[in-house]
Structure 1
Amino acid sequence: MVELESPRLDAVFHALADGTRRRMLRSLGGQPRSVGELAAPFHISLSAASKHIKVLERAGLVTRQIRGRTHLCHLQPQALAEGQAWLRHYEQFWNARLDALDAVLHAEATPLPPAPRPRKQP
């Protein structure tokens, strides 16, 4: 059973609610990146990027490794599992609705038999 109220689940969805953070996560999918590399596509300050990264860290989606003055961020995709499980619970409802739509579309695509011709009265 999927936990409906979980601080971690709330943190994951909060982190994913922002487009900048979603793009940062996508960027981290290929390899670890520095805060500067994550900030560059958005033309935001390192401070602003760091705030976004802190939200991702609190959600468990990112870890930060500090090497001298360089902060290297790593994706932690397993943190998405709880969110995926929560969404999977609702998949049954989407599938039922999509199956119903498919049935309607197939019914409309099936040609109707020709209407009977009226008989001539003698």
Structure 2
Amino acid sequence: MPSIVERIAKKYLRRPAIVTIGNIGEAVDTVEQRVEFVSGEDKRKKRLQQILSSGDFAPPIIVFVNIKRNCDAVARDVKHMGFSAVTLHGSKTQDQREAALASVRNGQTDVLVATDLAGRGIDVA
């Protein structure tokens, strides 16, 4: 993970976990990582809609947020944009978490909106 991304994670996430799969410092070839800083709620929503609507990224898409309240709000926004979305955060039961991941894995859901809980090693392939 690039050092700037690591610093950001430490600054904004509680108890971030580092999961290494493959070569350290490199994402697997099937994963594209992108970090963008956009100030202002309206600008963030607009940029997220641009990214999702661009067609540049095929589902499943994971959007990380800093707190679970934002997780639910962003998922609502994504749904209003016309995409299917589920959430993954610490207030979900294990059954709810597994159901959310299953819907992403089987192609029913386009976007997973998650807190750092999902950064602990999930496989959506």
Q: TM-score range by the shorter chain?
A: under 0.3
Whichever structure has more helix as a proportion of its residues is 1
Q: Return the index of the structure with the highest Cα Rg.
A: 1
Q: TM-score normalised to the size of structure 1?
A: 0.25
Structure with the bigger RCO (C-alpha within 8 Å, sep 6+) is 2
Q: TM-score normalised to the size of structure 2?
A: 0.25
